[in-house]
Structure 1
Amino acid sequence: MEPKKGGVVSKLLENVYVPKMFRVRQIFPRPVIKPEEIPEAVRRELYKEKFADKIKPGMNIAVTAGSRGIANVAIITKAITDFITTKGAKPFVVPAMGSHGGATAEGQIEVLNGYGITEEYLGCPIKSSMEVKMIGYTEEGQEVFIDKNAAEADGIVISCRIKPHNAFRGKYESGIMKMMAVGLGKQVGAEHVHSQGMNNIGKNIPLIGNVIIKNAPILFAIPCIENAFDETCKIVGVNKDEIAEEEPKLLQEAFANMPNIIVGECDVLVVDEIGKNYSGTGVDPNITGTFSTKYASGGVKVQRTAMLSLSEESHGNGLGIGLASAITKRIFDKLDLEKMYPNCITSTVLESARIPCVVSSDKEVIQICIRTCVNIDKDNVRIVRIPNSLHIEHIMLSEAYYEEVKNYPNLVIESEPEYLEFDEEGNIF
């Protein structure tokens, strides 16, 4: 049965007070490589002798491309494949995204195309397959698999982003090792990494990654790091034999560049849009505090979370809704369970795919969260509203924060408090 506007739930919520909100700008450091500067930044790294000398004329070289919403990912990928071409080698792109894209070759192509990574744009083939090849064993005797096309290439270049993970902590989180162990491992490899639970993933990733470094034709990696504004701020080459030592240092840089919700805590967090293009779990819990496991922590301290819409780029994969207190019918109607469930089955984490309370409109999502908060001042509820978890320079705060914010040097008030405007259906204009 679907939520019904004007039904019992609507009547229970209709008198819940939604406070005035005002806009603020959060100030973060902003080192940046502009999109037009990226090709030269990539070339500058790859022309270094230790990288350039590895690419010989006639070699077939696989370049990885993942499913995360990496800033400028198409530009970065093309810059790498273009460089390989200039050296007389033959590049091709392999989707390195584990079970994402519905765990199908066609679905993974669709994800890449959605990021602008197409054969027409790159000028080279994209070889998408879920077929894998066993290349060795870990110290614990576990088989290690990677994408068959990549395994049979003359060389593999790992292109990825280094970033704190949303479900565990370790020396290696989202980055080079994970791209090899989970991304290149496709469905089978991803399942092996996750099979012992999130408490062991920090151990399994380097265990499997080091086997891939040893036995697969890895040439080097060229990861990027992003600033607090979801912009590329660093691109660096890492040689095959440097990955194990250098990646943890780059992860610490990535942590230092993460944004945050400066006020630190709230009663209700409102997220306008969630999606796989923002985080593997729809929202980045390092920002929102909505972790799907007990093996990671951080982000804003919050009692209730409201999610309003699902991005088109997610193609119905609403993973992350299980971390919300309530969602709109608009999100619910977009869900494609065939896209969602392969991901959480593979990761063994079911929490982020659970269906929370579903109500008819934006207003009712906010109201149900306010009403069910405990031990708060309902007349001065503290609400933070963000557009998504990647873009939090401009956010909204409820009136309860107005005087307090004036004491924060890195928060700038951009508007006076005003009531949110809702249309006849109860959705925000």
Structure 2
Amino acid sequence: MKVTKGGTVSKLLAGVEIPEMFHARQTFPRQSIAPEDIPGIVEEQIAQPQFSEKIKPGMNIAITAGSRGIRNVDIITKAVVDAVKRRGANPFIVPAMGSHGGATAEGQKEMLAGFGITEEAMGCPIKSSMEVVELGYSSLGKRVVLDKNAYESDGIIVSCRLKPHNAFRGTHESGPCKMMTVGLGKQVGAQTVHSDGMGKIGQNIPTMAAVVLEKAPILFAIPCIENAYDETAMIEAILPENILEREAELLEVAKANMPSLIVGEGDVLVVDEIGKNYSGTGVDPNITGTFSTDFAHGGIQVQRTAFLNLSEISHGNALGVGLASAITSKIFDVMDIEAMYPNCLTSTVLKSACIPCVVATDKEAIQLCIRTCNGIEGKPVRMVRIANSLHIGQIMLSAAYYEDVKAGKYPGVEALDEPAPLEFDADDNVVTPVVM
């Protein structure tokens, strides 16, 4: 399919007016750890006797690394590697990302390289394989498997991020338990966890994690939590016997640190860039409201959503496009189906990979969304624009919000300038930056 500018669609959209917009700052609590302080905090956590005594000289220790664009993930991972080395053990890194990376060992290693996690940078081997061993069955009858390299090690350190999931709700969402069952379960384990659908995954993860904790050599977990500005806010080591209980407690801490689009609702949301480095579904629906299932809710409420670009680090994996009302040909033309579909086949969630309306330019994507909104004729369009779903400290809002923002209707939102037209280049792609 070829999408070109100047056809019937372009003519139908030509007269759609795009509202003037202004830059705004959103302010959230900002407890954070400076990147240069991360190695010291990781060492401080692991140096506690209950953790350090588990690492003995000569042990071969697997350290997990996932597929998300976690802030400072390379620094955190290297700090764990160095802490293991200091105690005379031999660390190696295991990609723990289920079916991501095209469900291949090479693809998963390539994903880690995109985050700066390479053998050279980390100073240790990366053992990437899709081979698993069977550990047993959960209390709900689900088969539990684990990465073979990790299982055959002398100990596993579960390094990950802990945050709310983008497609379901439960006591354990994205964190150590998911890393052990979905991540270290590779494609086979991830498929099993998701096999009952998103309505049951919240039960499958902790019950399957209980088997991993019993049968696999888990030394401890060391998850990080991020603040609303996508900055590392907390790092805490957890003993295996405490993981199930402590993860549930830390999930509430992570929820309290989540940012939001404070205006809460509008007509159109424009996301400049999507990608796997922002969320498993291209954007975090906890921010954008674009959920792929009926088992989670939240985020801004709008009628239409436009996605304009795909991040280079996603390597063509445009999973999440199905959550948009319109995308540009820039995204469509680089989509790699082989990278996208394995995740859908594993998770059983197809909506994220469905193709929405495809138009030639940024301008037309925005115009299409405005044109197809219902009930706004004769009213000023309420449009929100963000750079991506991870960085929403600065956003753009249409003129319809301006007087309310100036009047203080939205605590935490500050206007940085006055409404002005968005600027587009000769190809009708937006050039006005979201961040001033």
Question: 2 CA distance for matches of 1:286 and 1:135?
Answer: 34
Please point out which of 402, 413, 417 is paired with 2:415.
413
SS at the partner of 2:267? strand
**Is the contact made by 1:370 and 1:378 (CA closer than 8 Å) also made in structure 2?**
no
Percent of aligned pairs with the same residue? 65
Structure 1 counterpart of 2:427: 425
Map 1:226-237; keep pairs closer than 5 Å.
Answer: 226-237=226-237
Structure 1 counterpart of 2:325: 325
Structure 2 counterpart of 1:164: 164
Against the structure 1 CA distance between its residues 393 and 131, is the aligned structure 2 distance closer, same or farther, given a 3 Å change threshold?
same
Measured after TM superposition, the shift of residue 416 of structure 1 is 1.0
Alignment coverage as a number of residue pairs: 429
Measured after TM superposition, the shift of residue 379 of structure 1 is 4.7
Question: In the alignment, does 2:248 pair up with 1:248?
Answer: yes
Question: 2 CA distance for matches of 1:330 and 1:173?
Answer: 33
Measured after TM superposition, the shift of residue 378 of structure 1 is 5.0
Against the structure 1 CA distance between its residues 137 and 365, is the aligned structure 2 distance closer, same or farther, given a 3 Å change threshold?
same
Question: In the alignment, does 2:22 pair up with 1:43?
Answer: no
Question: 2 CA distance for matches of 1:217 and 1:210?
Answer: 12
Structure 1 counterpart of 2:136: 136
Structure 2 counterpart of 1:91: 91
Measured after TM superposition, the shift of residue 37 of structure 1 is 0.3
Question: 2 CA distance for matches of 1:317 and 1:218?
Answer: 31
Question: 2 CA distance for matches of 1:354 and 1:73?
Answer: 30
**Is the contact made by 2:289 and 2:301 (CA closer than 8 Å) also made in structure 1?**
yes
SS at the partner of 2:128? coil
37-46 or 136-145, larger mean C-alpha shift: 136-145
Map 1:66-77; keep pairs closer than 5 Å.
Answer: 66-77=66-77
Question: 2 CA distance for matches of 1:257 and 1:310?
Answer: 26
1-10 or 366-375, larger mean C-alpha shift: 1-10
Question: 2 CA distance for matches of 1:264 and 1:190?
Answer: 33
Structure 1 counterpart of 2:2: 2
Map 1:9-28; keep pairs closer than 5 Å.
Answer: 9-28=9-28
CA root-mean-square deviation: 0.7
Question: In the alignment, does 2:61 pair up with 1:64?
Answer: no
Deviations 1:195-214 (A, max 9, x none): 01110000000111010000
**Is the contact made by 2:274 and 2:282 (CA closer than 8 Å) also made in structure 1?**
yes
Structure 2 counterpart of 1:216: 216
Structure 2 letter corresponding to 1:419 = P
Structure 2 counterpart of 1:178: 178
Question: 2 CA distance for matches of 1:66 and 1:378?
Answer: 48
Question: 1 CA distance for matches of 2:352 and 2:366?
Answer: 20
Question: 1 CA distance for matches of 2:401 and 2:368?
Answer: 21
Against the structure 1 CA distance between its residues 378 and 3, is the aligned structure 2 distance closer, same or farther, given a 3 Å change threshold?
farther
Structure 2: tracts of 5 or more residues without a match? 432-436
Map 1:183-198; keep pairs closer than 5 Å.
Answer: 183-198=183-198
Question: 1 CA distance for matches of 2:85 and 2:127?
Answer: 17
Map 1:346-361; keep pairs closer than 5 Å.
Answer: 346-361=346-361
Structure 1 counterpart of 2:304: 304
**Is the contact made by 1:420 and 1:428 (CA closer than 8 Å) also made in structure 2?**
yes
Measured after TM superposition, the shift of residue 334 of structure 1 is 1.0
Structure 1: tracts of 5 or more residues without a match? none
Measured after TM superposition, the shift of residue 137 of structure 1 is 1.6
SS at the partner of 1:19? coil
SS at the partner of 2:40? helix
Question: 1 CA distance for matches of 2:42 and 2:378?
Answer: 52
Measured after TM superposition, the shift of residue 377 of structure 1 is 3.9
Structure 1 counterpart of 2:199: 199
Measured after TM superposition, the shift of residue 410 of structure 1 is 0.9
Question: 2 CA distance for matches of 1:26 and 1:56?
Answer: 47
Map 1:93-112; keep pairs closer than 5 Å.
Answer: 93-112=93-112
**Is the contact made by 1:318 and 1:336 (CA closer than 8 Å) also made in structure 2?**
yes
Deviations 1:278-328 (A, max 9, x none): 000000000000000000000001100000000001010000000000000
Measured after TM superposition, the shift of residue 142 of structure 1 is 2.8
Structure 1 letter corresponding to 2:174 = S
Question: 2 CA distance for matches of 1:94 and 1:409?
Answer: 44
SS at the partner of 2:199? helix
Measured after TM superposition, the shift of residue 2 of structure 1 is 1.8
TM-score, length-scaled by structure 2: 0.98
Measured after TM superposition, the shift of residue 411 of structure 1 is 1.0
SS at the partner of 2:251? helix
